[in-house]
Structures are given as C-alpha cells and as structure tokens.
Structure 1
Amino acid sequence: MASDDNLRHISFALASQRQEVKGFTSLAWHIASMGCHDNGPYVLPLTLMLTERTAYRFNLDSQQPRLFVRCEATDEGPQPREMTASQDVAANWLDGDTQVLDAPMPLAIQAWLEAYLARHGERIEAGRKKKRAVAGRARQHQE
C-alpha cells in the first residue's frame, strides 16, 4: 500500500500539434503543462518503487530529469494510464509498442525523489554484485 512516502498525484494537460511528414498530416501529442497537485485535465499517481531506485538516481543525475506517461491510443487521442520517474519502466512500455509521453520533472518532485532516495538508500545493481562475488569465489578455489 502506498503512503505519503512514495506517492504523489501529478496533474497535467495534453496538447497536440499538426505535423506534416511526406505529404501526410498527423497530430503529435505532448504534455503541455504539469503540476504537483490533484486537479487538472488528467491526474495520475506517481508511485515510487524501491526496486527502481537505481533508475531514479540515473534520471535525477541527467541534465534534464523527466517524468514519463504511458498512454492508450483511442479515437479521441492518447488516454494517460500510468506515470513513472523510471526510464527503465518507460523503456519497457516503449518495447510494448505503447505511446509514451515525457515532460521535464517539476522541481518539487525532484526534491521529493531525492528525499526518498536519502531515506531508503541508493540501490546497488544486483547483477554487478553477483559478478564480484562469483569472481571472489573463483579466486579462492584457485589458490
């Protein structure tokens, strides 16, 4: 169950812009505005997961931290369904051929995410740790 420690509601608006590519006109959707409250055309929960701490740190350390929104395609345009601060989760959504929109992460969310990482610690990649442990065991057997 989510608590205030790992849950915020983010409100945002979508906008479209007509674009022409090789004689075909289409709509390109983007997030027009975003706020740290629960009133607006769209509101989604942003829930932080302990397993995504490495991805959150990577996002925060980037030049422009982003939030990502998974959308379902409808005749009326994209319908937002989920939000994440993890680029890994967003990449998995894209692998599933899902529309993903992104926007700059509001400063208040960056500060909240930093505080979350400070409370729960930075996650160490399990794969890297296992490789080092295996390498150490291999050396012990050779001696």
Structure 2
Amino acid sequence: MTDNLRALSITLVAEPKQVKGYTLTQWRIASLAPGDQGECVLGLQLSMTERAAYRFNLTSASPRLFVRSGFTGQTPKPDAITASQDVAAGWMDGEQQVLEAPMPMAIQVWLESYLARHGEAVQEMRKKKRKGAGRAKELPTKEQPQ
C-alpha cells in the first residue's frame, strides 16, 4: 500500500425530517472507519497540492472528512472522499452532494505523518508593499532662472 492511500468504510443512513409539513429524507454518514469492511469502501488519496488544506483541517476544532455522494436531490452514491475542504467546496460548486463526518484519530495520525514526510506546503502570503513602492513619482523640478 502506498503512503498516500487508505481505504475507508462508509455506512450511510436515511433519516426522515419534517420541514413545513413535508417529510424529507436527509442522509448522513452513520459510520466511517479505516479498513475495507463496510458496505461502501472508498480510497482516501492524499495529494501534495492539498497539503495546506490538510493542515488547516487538522488544526480546526473538529477535523472532518468529506464524501462526494452524487448529485444533490438524488439518493446518495458515495464515489469519492477527501480531507480537503477546498476540494469539497469544488464538489459543492458542481451541484454535488457532500456529506461530512468527524475524521477518525487513526486518519489524523496518518495525515500528520504524511505532512511530516512530505513537508508543509508553503503558505502563500502577499508581500507588503513599501510606502510609495510601485507608484509613479513626480520628481521635483528645478525652477529656471529668468
């Protein structure tokens, strides 16, 4: 097994929810655990380009995993999982339904060791401009004697 891929077993459950007199079905992740023993198994593939997003997730109060589950409004069919909120946001922008669950401690430890082996991503920060830098300046003109 490579150092950037782990199998995760996911079980979904449907819960009826009352909204303004209507009953809707809301899906949630009932269980998410390392291994390939569940009804749905997905591979969590880590990517070097997402290291900053992984660090952001790990340092949050409650690290999460995000599961892409087909198009919004349809019965969920999990087909991808990520630890990157940026990737999950991209899925949602594409009208995909995204379910989330707490990240198991074993996955947090694995993710930390991945970041330790491959280094932290460089934080992209804007450089502070010096006062007046990059702006055209008028040079003082010498007055001509008449």
TM-score bracket, normalised by the shorter chain, equals 0.7 to 0.9
Which one has a larger percent helix, Structure 1 or Structure 2?
A: 1
- Counting only pairs closer than 5 Å after superposition, residues 33-72 of structure 1 correspond to structure 2 as 33-72=31-70
Q: TM-score, normalised by structure 2?
A: 0.83
Q: Distance in 2 between matches of 1:75 and 1:125?
A: 37
Q: What count of residue pairs does the alignment treat as equivalent?
A: 135
| Structure 2 residue matching 1:4: 3-state secondary structure | coil
Inter-CA distance 24–8: structure 2 relative to 1 (3 Å threshold): same
- Higher CA-based Rg: 2
2:140 matched residue in structure 1: none
Q: Deviations over 1:7-39 (max 9, x none)?
A: 000001000110011111110000001110011
C-alpha distance in 2 between matches for 1:100 and 1:75: 11
TM-score if structure 1 supplies the norm length? 0.85
Q: How does 1:61-140 map to 2 (within 5 A)?
A: 61-73=59-71, 77-126=75-124, 128=125, 131-132=126-127, 135=129
- Regions of 4+ moved over 6 Å: none
SS of structure 2 residue aligned to 1:5:
coil
Superimposed CA distance per residue, residues 22-70 of structure 1 (whole angstroms, 9 cap, x where no aligned partner):
1111100000011100111100000000000000000000011000000
Residues 89 and 107 of structure 1: CA distance in aligned 2, closer, same or farther (over 3 Å): same
Q: Give 1:4 deviation, angstroms.
A: 1.9
Gapped regions of structure 1 (runs ≥ 5)? none
